[in-house]
Structure 1
Amino acid sequence: MGSAAILVLKLGALGDIVLATGPFAAIRAHHPGARITLLTTKPYAEWLRRAPYFDDVWIDPRPGALDILGWLALRRQLLAGGFGRVYDLQTSGRSSRYFQLMRPNPPEWSGIAPGCSHPDADPNRNHLHTVVRQKGQLRAAGILDVPPPNLDWCATDLARFDLPPRFALLVPGGSAHRPEKRWPAPSYAALARRLSERGITPLLIGTGAEARVLAEIEANAPGARSLLGQTDVASIAAIARRAEVAVGNDTGPMHLIVTAGCRSLTLFSNASDPALTAPVGRDVTVLREARLEDLSVDRVAESLFR
């Protein structure tokens, strides 16, 4: 296509953004001379400014339902961008409302907004893995070549971490409101002890909200080392490239780790479906148990030390 300004919508969450890096690359390749702007949310803006796909990154103010002035300001911003085409990779109710904001003369629009020019009309779209679904969406917009997710551009200096020669990443956290997606801390501690016995240092990844879980694991696995609150998106990906293996729940950092190229085990319960949301990378194994508390340490270790 020509050099008209392009807008890409991808608001979150972390795992979904990692899975969208393939579509990001495809859109850039399809519009080599265009100025491409990404609209995302604050947690991901600074990181995605380093990506090679975008000329500008905007932060979505996410006006509330009754914030009339906020909606009007967002409308002015979107219209001032002069966009000739929008790729809505969020395909949510909120992002589809942004199409309505740009009426009466909206740009070409790839997404699911009623009345858009390039709809993803696949009736099975909600039953497809995110990567497959987005390929179908872009195909409907004329983009046929969509590479897999890729984080080769995501790098940072790791000197501050003083990483051990051999280590594994453990990611025991996840959404606080979805405890059923977490393998129990005692199980992680038992696995960490087995890693230590093999001369592999377990490094624990997590944020402040997961402090209690990481502290419990560290207390019961003396060889483990917590990186609580010390990592950001770029450093997790960079550390993953040097790790021997990673084990974690169905959570955003595992997408980073897998796509960065680390051999990984991702643990799923019946609370989420790996057929729809599993991380994508060169060497990832999914272990699933209806209730993660019933997933044995022996089974995880068997896959880990194969």
Structure 2
Amino acid sequence: MTSPRILVIKLGALGDFVQAFSPFAAIRAHHPGAEITLLTTRPFAEMAVASPYFDHVWIDEKPRLWQVAKLVRLRERLRGGRFTRVYDLQTSDRSGWYFRLIGAGVEWSGIAKGCSHPHANAQRDFLHTIERQAEQLAMAGIAEYPPADLSWAEADLSRFGLPHPFALLCPGGAPHRPAKRWSAEHFGEIAQWLTQRGITPVLVGTHKEKAEIDAITAACPQAVALTGRTGFLDILGLGRQAMLALGNDTGPMHLIAAAGAPSLVLFGADSNPDLCAPRGQVSLLRQDDLADLDPERVKAALAALVAD
């Protein structure tokens, strides 16, 4: 008897990908003998390959509608996969195209018009990502939804030579959404506050956040900057070892929280934590304009995290 062939679609972004770990685990547990393929984008391939959830990881180059040759190749690949069921966890206009590309005869869980296992809840967009995905899978017959075990996420952190205890600070965020960032000046004050308590601040971010990270290390020379040196698996590993973490509403904070670090996440008016906040040992501070968020409130919330 041929094993079922399952396709899971999850393209991004980082926070959304992290919040799909539990659905990935649930799909694998529900289809223990299946051959499962993930269709994702290049930034998430390393994590997907390292995880125990997939037999194959395919990279989606996300062709445009006018790139006919690329769309034809994608259609041939999707159809050539001979999938028996698709779990569309992206549920976007793009993945709706893929429902049409793959053709008839394939079971499909998602919101594409005409699919076999629709997520039939008109209020789905008002659910937190985690509850929305759990409900979608339940409607497709997956009732068991265990939390994801991230012990597979291995990384050699010895190259960083970090002193313990340390706290992770994530001062960055999407470049096109600056209102989601608390100021580097305030992060610098928090770094000094941590240092005074014997906790080394460790700054995580890409080269796009270099200006903010440099400003923080100028204010607190004891801070350790890992600018551009951490992949996603590294951040998961750091999250397992960190005493606590502080950051804006940004993808790395999802990784850190998923790894188990007690985390404080800052939300402005640009995003709604009711729909997308990280889960775990997570506290939230909300301020419509993050420029008005008093560092003393942040210090009090961090102190409560340590006390817990």
Shift of 1:51: 0.5
Secondary structure of 2:32's aligned partner? coil
Question: Structure 1 residue 250: deviation in Å?
Answer: 0.4
CA contact (8 A) 1:3 1:31 kept: no
Structure 2 residue matching 1:266: 3-state secondary structure: strand
1:1-306 alignment, distance < 5 Å = 3-103=3-103, 105-281=104-280, 283-306=281-304
User: In structure 1, the residue corresponding to 2:50 is in which secondary structure?
Assistant: coil
Q: Secondary structure at the match of 1:305?
A: helix
Please give the secondary structure, in 1, of the residue aligned with 2:94. Answer: helix
Q: Runs of 5+ in structure 2 lacking a partner? A: none
Deviation digits for residues 18-75 of structure 1, max 9, x if unmatched? 1000000110011111000000001111221010000000000211120011100000
Amino acid in the other structure paired with 2:86: V
Given that residues 5 and 36 in structure 1 are in contact (C-alpha distance below 8 angstroms), is that contact kept between their aligned partners in structure 2? Answer: yes
Question: 1:110, 1:117 within 8 Å by CA — same for their partners in 2?
Answer: yes
- Report deviation, 1:151: 2.2
Aligned-pair Cα RMSD in Å: 1.0
SS in 2 for 1:222: coil
How far apart, in 2, do the equivalents of 1:241 and 1:4 lie?
Answer: 35
TM-score relative to the length of structure 1: 0.97
Q: Which amino acid counterpart does residue 52 of structure 1 have in structure 2?
A: P
| 1:163 Cα deviation from its structure 2 partner | 1.1
For 1:128 and 1:149, locate their aligned partners in 2 and report how far apart those are by CA, in whole Å: 20
The one-letter code of the counterpart of 1:94 is R
The percentage of counterpart residues that share the same residue type is: 53
Post-superposition offset of 1:3 = 2.7
Residue 86 of structure 1 aligns to a residue whose secondary structure is: strand
Q: CA deviation at 1:154?
A: 0.9
Unpaired runs of 5+ residues, structure 1, are: none
Q: CA deviation at 1:150?
A: 4.1
The letter for the 1-side match of 2:29 is: A
Report if the CA contact (8 A) 1:150-1:260 is conserved.
no
Tell me, in whole angstroms, the C-alpha distance in 2 between the residues paired with 1:43 and 1:24: 17
**Which amino acid counterpart does residue 98 of structure 2 have in structure 1?**
Y
Matched residues in 2 for 1:106 and 1:253: separation? 39
d(CA) in 2 for partners of 1:216 and 1:178? 19
